[in-house]
Structure 1
Amino acid sequence: MSDTEGFDTSVPPSGEGCADCLDGASPGWWVHLRRCAQCGHIGCCDTSPGQHATAHHDATGHPVIQSFEPGEDWCFDYRTGGFAYGPALAPPTSHPRDQSVPGPADRIPADWQDQLH
């Protein structure tokens, strides 16, 4: 396995938020965002109720995600269950700094902390 296996540096992120939550998948909001290093799909983290980043991995087999949070550049490799290093991905490398966390702001339920994993 090479250091770049599971990375495609030419693919931009799919958007600024969890593609599944924004497309109507339940519950429609997230805590933190993760980016598939292979196809750019933005999904929500495993703390989020939807856990769409891991669901994307399970459905596609794409092996590596990168944090899509401002100031973070770590990657996680599902194959090893550990942190990974790889090449820089196509910009942007995070959601906008002024985007709410959790988000999107208009979908966060009052009891959101009770719904975390």
Structure 2
Amino acid sequence: MATCSHLDQVVLLEPAQPVAGCEECLRTGGRWVHLRMCQTCGQIGCCDSSPNRHASKHALEESHPILRSVEPGEHWSWCVIDEVAFELRPGA
């Protein structure tokens, strides 16, 4: 079973509320499908199903490996380097 080797880099588990949308799409007039949050710096970006894939681009450009879903009711994270999904909840 694959595991994430970057868990020591998780800093932020919960997004600041409210999440208005993908930060870059809001600046440029883009659109998104689902939102992801960088668990190193908290930047909100659009998912890989979105036209611009801002969350993954940010993660790779900044070497911030872990993104989490900020969709209501979802608690999973994704390591873009190890390509593995996992659940990480505050206080767990």
Q: TM-score, normalised by structure 2?
A: 0.79
User: Deviation of residue 3 (structure 1)?
Assistant: 6.8
**Could you tell me how far apart the structure 2 residues matched to 1:34 and 1:59 are?**
15
Task: Choose which of 74, 83, 92 in structure 2 pairs with 1:81.
Answer: 83
Q: 1:57-108: CA deviations, max 9, x gaps?
A: 121010100001000000001121011343529xxxxxxxxxxxxxxxxxxx
SS at match of 2:9: coil
Q: Which is greater in Rg?
A: 1
The answer to whether structure 1 residue 17 and structure 2 residue 21 are counterparts is: yes
**Identical columns (%):** 38
**Could you tell me how far apart the structure 2 residues matched to 1:9 and 1:2 are?**
17
Q: Give structure 2 stretches of 5+ with no counterpart.
A: none
Task: Choose which of 33, 41, 44 in structure 2 pairs with 1:42.
Answer: 44
**Could you tell me how far apart the structure 1 residues matched to 2:68 and 2:14 are?**
13
Q: TM-score, normalised by structure 1?
A: 0.63
User: Deviation of residue 4 (structure 1)?
Assistant: 3.7
Task: Choose which of 50, 64, 71 in structure 1 pairs with 2:66.
Answer: 64
Count the aligned residue pairs.
87
User: Deviation of residue 17 (structure 1)?
Assistant: 0.8
SS at match of 1:54: helix
